[in-house]
């Protein structure tokens, strides 16, 4: 093994460095990947959209019924009203 001054050293000798060639160093440097370039505005919009979707789902669970459930309740109320009107003795 050669030290940085060109002389030979023992591999375990103090001050010795592992043998690394310039090609190996360049390969390591070139193998490092650059970070992915992102559009911050698009990322922010996507994050906000996901938060809005989650909030809407929570509100649906907390506050509401599905459209089909509301329609069923409306139909049942209408049927009860018609039944009561039919049983009324004095039509006014």
Task: Summarize pLDDT for 49-67 with one digit per residue, the tens.
Answer: 999 999 999 988 888 888 8
Highest mean pLDDT among 21-25, 33-37, 67-71, 78-82: 78-82
CA 62 remoteness from chain centre: 23
Q: What is the average per-residue pLDDT within 71-85?
A: 94
pTM over 0.75: no
CA 73 remoteness from chain centre: 37
Residue 72's pLDDT is what? 93
**HSE-CB of 81 using CA atoms within 13 angstroms:** 6
Residue 7's pLDDT is what? 56
- For residue 55, give both structure tokens: 């909030």
26-30, 33-37, 77-81: which has the minimum mean pLDDT?
A: 26-30
Residue 61's pLDDT is what? 83
What CA–CA distances, in Å, run from 73 to 36, 59, 78? 52, 20, 9
């Amino acid at each position: 093994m050669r030290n940085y001054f060109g002389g030979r050293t023992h591999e375990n000798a103090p001050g010795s460095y592992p043998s690394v060639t310039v090609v190996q160093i360049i390969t390591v440097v070139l193998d490092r990947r650059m970070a992915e370039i992102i559009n911050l505005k698009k990322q922010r919009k996507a994050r906000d959209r996901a938060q809005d979707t989650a909030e809407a789902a929570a509100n649906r669970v907390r506050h509401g019924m599905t459209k089909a459930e509301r329609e069923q309740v409306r139909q049942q109320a209408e049927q009860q009203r018609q039944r009561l009107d039919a049983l009324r003795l004095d039509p006014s």
